[in-house]
Amino acid sequence: MKDNNRLIIIADDDVDYLFQMEHYVKSFGFEVKVAHSQKEAELIIENTEPVLAIFDLMMERDDSGFILCHKMRRKHPNVPIILATAVASETGISFGVSTDEDKQWIKADLYLEKGIRKDQLHKEINKLLKL
Amino acid sequence: MKKLEVMVVDDEPGIRSGVSRILNTFTISYPFMDTDIGFNVIEVGTGEEAIDKIKSEHVDIVLLDNKLPGIQGVDVLDFINKNNPEVLVMMITSYASLELAIKATNNGAHDFIPKPFTPQELKSSLENVSKHIFLRGMTKKMNREGKEIRYQFLSVLSHELKAPLNAIDGYLHMMQDKEAGDNIANYDQMIDRSIQRIKIMRNLIMDLLDLTKINLEKKTDKFQLVKVKDIAQNAIEAINPYAIQKDVTISLSDENNVEINADPGDIEIVFNNLISNAVKYNVEKGEVDVILEKDENNLKIKVRDTGIGMNKDETKQLFDEFFRVKSEQTKHIIGSGLGLSIVKRMIDLYNGEIKVESEVGQGSTFTIILPI
């Protein structure tokens, strides 16, 4: 784990978004491992403990991000997770955290609307890492 | 022509007659609407009169001045929201009270027109509101016909439309902030990707238009005896430049000179989608065979490819809206995920049937059976 103390995992099936996030997160001084799919992310999680993970909500499945959150929590319970989504609240797709039962298993630490600016992203990451 | 009833509520006679003059000769037509839209203008000078009229007459749109001699515009707005929420209200307001206008839209006005307005501004406002009324009517009509616009569809659609916008927006900000330094060549890739995403979005919009076309209804007035081979040939020619680059060869066989009574546009959509998929999801030096056959009752269209194929799970979801096979091999293939759902709807409309057989690494065969 010591080797990975600057490592952030980013999973997104949108190559452009992934590229941009990778660029920014690297510019903040972190190392980055990218995953293009839920599956790829699962493999990475299995063998690596990052300091933070950023997951897209909708990848192969509409709820890929939730599944990754869940698996991440089981494997590395202390790693903060950001769930990024392009689905705005205005479209009415709820995150499914309305019930207590859901709240228990969807354990993202932060929901981020995609299109977040660099500075804010940096701030949010630092906040979660208590930097 | 469909006429919309527009009530203009303003205590200045000059404004009322001006609106009448402009709108009485104004018509709106869109390629996606069956008929043009025109306007009948009802002029009233006070809020009280306006409420009386709304109680007794059918009104589609209200152009509402806020400053009125008796009760104020916002009171009228309030009444309409409570009693006739289907009426769309446009607040007329001076530039000075933009704040009021924003408040009004928050309180349920559809939009506002700043005063003084030019004829062109009035027209474009009315154009927007008419489009809204038209779409609302369509939605109702589709619901009545049982073709419910699924909420899910709209949510996914908004996701699909926002994803490219986010990507392009992201790149533009990276360029604005000179994230890759001062050398302009460092941004080539970002520009290429942005252009690519715009292209994808455009394709999606084209597909959506196809989808709207089907949703409207089967328009038998465009029916004619169609030589299926001609349409298939056109579709092949359209995709051929791409096929040549991928070194995919396309063959077409039609031994029985197959014909069908149909809207040629519909059949074109079917072939365009199937053949372009067969090329897109093919391998280098792959093949596509388009086979047209018929028996006594049916026309049979087969599109066979030697492409990457799909597993059972994937074929099961294949005709769902926005479903796309996601894998290393498909990552760079452009598609909206709507093509096959459009084809499926189209075939349903003709009481036909579409089937797919596929094997990973071997290829896929789509078979369409249409009654003739």
Cα B149 versus chain centre, distance: 12
Instruction: Quote the tokens at residue B136.
Output: 């609302």
**Total number of domains constituting chain A:** 1
- Give tens-digit pLDDT for B245-274: 889 999 999 988 999 998 888 898 899 999
Instruction: Looking at the complex, report in whole angstroms how far the Cα of residue A10 sits from the nearest Cα belonging to chain B.
Output: 16
On whether the CB atoms of residues B261 and B224 are closer than 8 A, the answer is: yes
Question: Would residue A124 count as lying in a domain?
Answer: no
Q: Residue B286's pLDDT is what? A: 94
Sheet containing B88-94, strands listed edge to edge, beginning at the edge strand earlier in sequence: B37-44, B2-9, B61-65, B88-94, B111-115
Cross-chain Cβ contact B177/A60 below 8 Å:
no
User: Mutate which of A12, A14, A15, A20 to test chain B, going by most B C-beta atoms within 10 A?
Assistant: A20
Report the pLDDT value the prediction gives residue B33, as an integer from 0 to 100.
62
A91 vs A111: CA distance, rounded Å: 15
> What digits encode the pLDDT tens for the residues B283-317?
999 999 999 999 888 999 999 999 999 999 889 88
Structural domain includes residue A128: no
Side-chain-side CA neighbours of residue A114 (13 Å): 29
Handedness of CA B74, B75, B76, B80 (dihedral sign): positive
Range scoring the smallest mean pLDDT among A35-44, B24-33, B210-219? B210-219
Angle at B262 between CA B260 and CA B265, to 5 degrees: 120
A122 touches chain B (CB under 8 A): no
Would you call A86 and B162 a contact, using CB atoms and an 8 Å cutoff? yes
What is the sign of the dihedral through the CA atoms of B301, B304, B310 and B312? positive
> Are A91 and B158 within 8 A, CB to CB?
yes
Task: List phi, psi (to 5°) of B217.
Answer: 155, 170
* Average pLDDT score over residue span B205-218: 70
Chain A CB contacts of B197 below 8 Å = 16
A positions 39-68 inside 8 Å of B (CB): 58-60
Task: List alpha helices for B281-360, DSSP H.
Answer: 312-317, 339-349
CB-based burial label for B246 (10 Å; 0-12, 13-18, 19+):
middle
How far, rounded to the nearest angstrom, does the alpha carbon of residue B209 sit from its chain's CA centroid?
A: 4
Nearest CB to A16; choose among B158, B167, B326: B167
Q: What is the ipTM of this complex?
A: 0.74
**pLDDT of A7:** 95
Mean pLDDT value across residues B145-171 = 71
Tokens of B282: 């093919």
Is the domain B2-144 a CATH 3.30.70.100 member?
Answer: no
Q: Which CATH class is domain B220-371?
A: alpha beta
Which phi and psi angles does B31 have, rounded to 5°? -60, -25
**Contact B163/A59, CB-based, under 8 Å?**
no
- Which of B166, B177, B326 has the CB atom closest to A114's CB atom? B166
What is each CA distance from B134 to B7, B35, B59, B139, B252, in whole angstroms? 18, 10, 15, 9, 42
Residue B325's closest chain A neighbor by CA?
A60
Q: What is the pLDDT of residue B156?
A: 65
Chain A residues within an 8 Å CB radius of B167: 14, 16-17, 20
Answer yes or no: do A87 and B158 touch at CB < 8 A.
Answer: yes
For residue B51, pLDDT over 90 is answered with yes
> Across residues A85-107, what is the average pLDDT?
50
Residue of chain A minimizing CA distance to B163:
A86
Average pLDDT over residues B347-369: 93
- Confidence category of residue A1, pLDDT binned at 50, 70, 90: very low
- The CATH architecture to which B151-215 belongs is Orthogonal Bundle (1.10)
Mean per-residue pLDDT of chain B = 85
Closest CA to B251 of B266, B234, B236, B268: B236
Q: Residue B155 and residue A20: Cβ atoms within 8 Å?
A: no
- Comparing CA positions, the residue from A22, A114, A52, A113 lying closest to residue B179 is A22
Q: Which residues contact A11 (CB under 8 A, 6 or more apart)?
A: A34, A35, A36, A37, A38, A40, A41, A53, A54, A55, A56, A59, A64, A65, A68
β-strands B353-359, B363-371 pairing: antiparallel
What local confidence, expressed as pLDDT, does residue B154 receive? 66
For residue B144, is pLDDT > 70? Answer: no
Name the residue among A14, A88, A92 with its Cβ closest to that of B163: A14
pLDDT for the residue numbered B281: 93
State how beta strands B2-9 and B61-65 pair.
Answer: parallel
Average pLDDT of B142-148?
Answer: 54
Contacts of B244 (CB under 8 A, 6+ apart): none
Q: Give the CATH number of the domain where residue A73 resides.
A: 3.40.50.2300
Q: What is the pLDDT of residue A18?
A: 92
DSSP string, A67-85: HHHHHHHHH-TT--EEEEE
The top-scoring range by mean pLDDT among B29-43, B111-125, B143-157, B243-257 is B243-257
- pLDDT value for A11: 96
Residue B334 CB coordination number (10 Å): 12
Q: Percent of chain B at pLDDT above 90?
A: 41
Is A65 part of a structural domain of the chain?
yes
Which of the two residues, B94 and A33, has the higher pLDDT score?
A33
Two tokens, residue B55: 């109680």
Q: What angle do CA B155, B160, B161 make, to 5 degrees?
A: 100
Question: What average pLDDT does range B176-182 have in this prediction?
Answer: 91
Per-residue pLDDT at B160 exceeds 80: no
Alpha-carbon distance of B112 to B128, in angstroms, equals 11
Domain that holds residue A104: 2-115
- Chain B residues with CB-CB distance to A58 below 8 A: 159
DSSP B21-74: HHHHT--B--TT-SS-EEEEEEEESSHHHHHHHHHHS--SEEEEES--SSS-HH
Cβ-based contacts of B174 with chain A (< 8 Å)? 20, 23
State the best of B155, B168, B175 to mutate against chain A, taking most chain A CBs within 10 Å: B155
Average of per-residue pLDDT across B43-57: 94
Predicted TM-score of the model (pTM): 0.51
H helix runs in B145-256, sequence order: 151-176, 188-216, 228-246
Distance from CA of A91 to the nearest CA of B (A): 6
For residues B85 and A90, the model is more confident at: B85
Mean pLDDT of B91-116: 74
CA angle B188, B194, B198 (to 5 degrees): 145
Phi first, then psi: give them for residue B90, nearest 5 degrees: -115, 120
- Identify which has the larger pLDDT, B29 or A12: A12
Kindly state whether residue A121 falls inside one of the protein's structural domains.
Answer: no
Asked if residue A31 belongs to a domain, the reply is: yes
Q: Are B226 and B262 in contact (CB under 8 A)?
A: yes
CA distance B25 to B197: 41
Average pLDDT, chain A: 81
Distance CA(B231)–CA(B303), nearest Å, equals 14
Tally C-beta pairs within 8 A across A and B.
53
Q: Round to whole Å and give the CA distance between B148 and B153.
A: 10
Q: Is the pLDDT of residue B149 over 60?
A: no
Helix (H) or strand (E) holding A118: helix A118-128
pLDDT score of B15 more than 80: yes
A63: CB partners within 8 A, 6+ apart: A57, A96
| Domain assignment of residue A123, yes or no | no
